Structure 1
Amino acid sequence: MLPTPELVKEYIAAGLDCTHLDVEGDGHHFSAVIVSPAFAGKRPIQRHQLVYAALGDRMRQEIHALSMKTLTPEEFQQQ
């Protein structure tokens, strides 16, 4: 069974406190806008590592590709 965008969203939300989370995809490739206060003071690679940690082994087993836009709540409001 291929993961759905809704399922990927649930996976991320279960492991990371998000104030906004939008995931789109086709079962193989996904893109996400992830807004979390946990990203404050972190470089982009550190933000991605937090998301990968939330996804755990699913990143290797279920999700083939994930493009992310990671923002703090303040950055998200400024857009």
Structure 2
Amino acid sequence: MPMAADEIEALIVAGIPDARVEMTDLAGDGDHWAARVTAESFRGLPRLKQQRAVYAALGDRMGGVLHALQLTTAVPVQE
């Protein structure tokens, strides 16, 4: 059974409380997702560590229930 966008978002926010998550269904099937995760806590971290933090928040669901996630991470734009 595929994971719903709100379930993925909740897991990410639980692991990265300051995250803002934007989910996009890539195939229209609820099984292939793109996530853009923006968090101040990413500031100063290399992109690889940012992405590892997201994967850690998703835990063992990556590669299992959640098998297709296109991930983009970013820090908020300072004004």
Q: With structure 2 as the length reference, what TM-score do the two structures score? A: 0.82
Note the 1:38-77 alignment, pairs <5 A: 38-74=41-77
Residues 20-79 of structure 1 show CA distances to partners (whole Å, capped at 9, x for unaligned) of 2111223321101111111111111111000001001011221112111211112xx67x
Which structure: greater helix fraction? 1
Unaligned segments of structure 2, at least 5 residues: none
Count of matched residue pairs: 76
Q: Identity of counterpart residues, as a percentage?
A: 33
TM-score, length-scaled by structure 1: 0.82
Give structure 1 stretches of 5+ with no counterpart. Answer: none
Aligned-residue RMSD, C-alpha: 1.7
Q: Is 2:19 the partner of 1:29?
A: no
